[in-house]
Amino acid sequence: MEYTVYKTTGEDSGRKIELSDSIFGIEPNDHAIYLDVKQYMANKRQGTHKSKERSDVSGSTRKIKKQKGTGTARAGSIKSPLFRGGGRAFGPRPRDYFFKLNKKLKKLARRSALSYKAKNNELIIVEDFNFELPKTKEFISLKNNLKIDDKNSLFVLSGQNKNVYLSSRNLQRTKVVTVSELSTYELLHAKSIVFVESSINVLEKLY
């Protein structure tokens, strides 16, 4: 498929770029997307949740009443979950939520997400650009020119660019990543994905 390459001023450059159908034109695999997003969200969890169980609660360990003859249920400790102030039964414990996914499945998920974006016309290809100094005002001007100032936007660069990254860091609904940092979650979360022209070649080699 062919996509128009835009200038940073928002004007048509008069050139088109060919996008690979094996990346931007496949039949999306929803289950692969689900698994990759699930892993992304799971890896962001700290897993530090903890409640006090009966071994963690402070209190006496003496038997609070005799075993038989009271007419009520037997009770051996004031720290029982049955009593107010006792420990919680089967409460959450610190754990790691990480789980493994195969690289091929993760690539399939990202190709599927990119195919959805291409199908919905949410991709923009722009000429390579750079800022001499970190200037947030220039980045805002770029978004205005591309008419995506009010949308969640993801800018994909071919490699690290400190000035571009610093220019966008304070902006809401804007994120700058390199091709190698792409994730399925961020691709789906963004309403507009802006690829610099040189990043397409890097993307096709990687995927």
* pLDDT per residue as tens digits for the range 101-114: 999 999 999 999 99
Tell me, what's the pLDDT at 22? 92
| Residue 109, domain member (yes or no) | yes
Tell me, what's the pLDDT at 176? 95
The count of domains in the chain is: 2
d(CA 7, CA 96): 45
Tell whether 103 and 90 lie within a shared domain.
no
- Return the bridge partners of 4, or none: 16
Tell whether 187 and 112 lie within a shared domain.
yes
The two structure tokens encoding residue 51: 């409640």
Tell whether 12 and 23 lie within a shared domain.
yes
* pLDDT per residue as tens digits for the range 40-68: 999 999 999 999 999 999 988 899 999 99
CB neighbours of 131 closer than 8 A, spacing ≥ 6? 138, 139, 163, 164, 167
Tell whether 82 and 102 lie within a shared domain.
no
Tell whether 192 and 137 lie within a shared domain.
yes
| Residue 36, domain member (yes or no) | no
Q: Is the pLDDT of residue 149 over 90?
A: no
Q: SS in 3 state form for 124-184?
A: EEECCCCCCCCCHHHHHHHHHHCCCCCCCEEEEECCCCHHHHHHHCCCCCEEEEEHHHCCH
Q: Is the pLDDT of residue 207 over 90?
A: no
Domain that holds residue 180: 2-29+97-206
Tell whether 142 and 169 lie within a shared domain.
yes
d(CA 173, CA 54): 46
| Residue 79, domain member (yes or no) | yes
| Residue 158, domain member (yes or no) | yes
* pLDDT per residue as tens digits for the range 62-92: 999 999 999 999 999 999 999 999 999 999 9
Q: Is the pLDDT of residue 141 over 90?
A: yes
| Residue 34, domain member (yes or no) | no
- pTM of the predicted protein model: 0.83
Tell me, what's the pLDDT at 54? 92
Percentage of the chain modeled with pLDDT above 70? 100
